[in-house]
């Protein structure tokens, strides 16, 4: 797995693109790391029952910016499940062995997404899947940890007979470092979307909005999505 280093330049990458800030930076890194004689980017997004479609439209816009073919897959089965166990009346974060389980977590979501990605990797003869996972900002997400990604890499290669490597370039970075890297890469942050709630504008209250806006402020910059509302 690539997390602290980058792979050699490739002819093609598959990028898991949610339309959010992190996946946009991952997409930009993949574009930069294509071989100089040109290459192919496949951006894969998922409809898993989000509260709105804004992040999928953002994923489509970002794919156009970076010249990637964009595929959207439905994962309707995940709509029935959330990060809360049935019968828990508290609706609070649940404690697990490594910390607190956020309410925003969808069980097995990254397992399913990576499995679909593995099928696409085999079909398109691509060997590296790129994603915006980062365990420091989401310590309660079990499927954003290095250990999980290493295990999944082995399982995907074993289950497909196809050489597969996971590239997680943001895994050990903070949100502030990711935003800074995005500026260095020229990422169009105004085309990204992070909010869990709203569709027309960010709510500024959910965890995704708070983390995102704090990262921009820490760099003495204004989030472009906030500028749109001023």
The helix/strand count (H/E) of the chain reads as 7, 7
Domains and CATH numbers, the chain: 12-188 (3.40.50.620)
Residue 34 DSSP one-character state? B
Structure tokens at 217: 């402020």
pLDDT at site 53: 84
Say how far apart CA 31 and CA 68 lie, in whole Å: 9
pLDDT at site 52: 76
Structure tokens at 193: 């979307």
Mean pLDDT by groups of 10 residues along the chain of 230 residues: 92 97 97 92 90 88 98 84 57 52 75 96 98 76 88 97 97 95 98 84 88 94 78
Structure tokens at 126: 């691509």
pLDDT at site 17: 98
Strands 12-16 and 128-130: parallel
Q: How far is CA 62 from CA 22, 30, 78, 97, 154, in A?
A: 12, 13, 25, 37, 30
pLDDT at site 207: 83
pLDDT at site 89: 47
Collapsing DSSP to helix, strand or coil, 195 comes out as coil
Beta bridge partners of 12: 40
Handedness of CA 84, 88, 90, 94 (dihedral sign): negative
pLDDT at site 25: 98
At how many degrees (to 10) do helices 109-124 and 146-160 cross? 40
Q: How far is CA 195 from CA 57, 96, 100, 152, in A?
A: 13, 25, 21, 28
Please count the other Cβ atoms lying within 10 Å of the Cβ belonging to residue 79: 13
pLDDT at site 92: 45
Strands of the chain, DSSP E? 12-16, 40-47, 69-74, 94-96, 99-101, 128-130, 165-167
């Amino acid at each position: 797995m690539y997390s602290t280093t980058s792979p050699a330049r490739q002819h093609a990458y598959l990028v898991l693109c949610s339309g959010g800030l992190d996946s946009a930076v991952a997409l930009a890194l993949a574009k930069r790391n294509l071989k100089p004689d040109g290459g192919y980017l496949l951006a894969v997004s998922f409809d898993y029952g989000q509260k709105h479609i804004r992040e999928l439209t953002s994923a489509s816009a970002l794919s156009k910016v970076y010249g990637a073919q964009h595929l959207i897959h439905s994962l309707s089965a995940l709509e029935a499940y959330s990060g809360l166990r049935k019968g828990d009346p508290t609706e609070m974060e649940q404690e697990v062995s490594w910390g607190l389980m956020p309410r925003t977590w969808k069980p097995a979501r990254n397992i399913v997404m990576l499995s679909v990605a593995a099928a696409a990797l085999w079909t398109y003869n691509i060997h590296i899947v790129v994603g915006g996972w980062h365990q420091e900002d989401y310590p309660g997400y079990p499927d954003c940890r290095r250990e999980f990604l290493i295990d999944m890499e082995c399982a995907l290669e074993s289950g497909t007979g196809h050489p597969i490597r996971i590239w997680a370039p943001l895994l050990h970075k903070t949100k502030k470092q990711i935003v800074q890297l995005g500026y260095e890469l020229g990422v169009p942050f105004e085309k990204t979307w992070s909010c869990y709630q709203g569709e027309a504008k960010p709510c500024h209250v959910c965890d995704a909005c708070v983390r995102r806006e704090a990262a921009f402020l820490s760099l003495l910059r204004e989030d472009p999505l906030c500028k749109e509302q001023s």
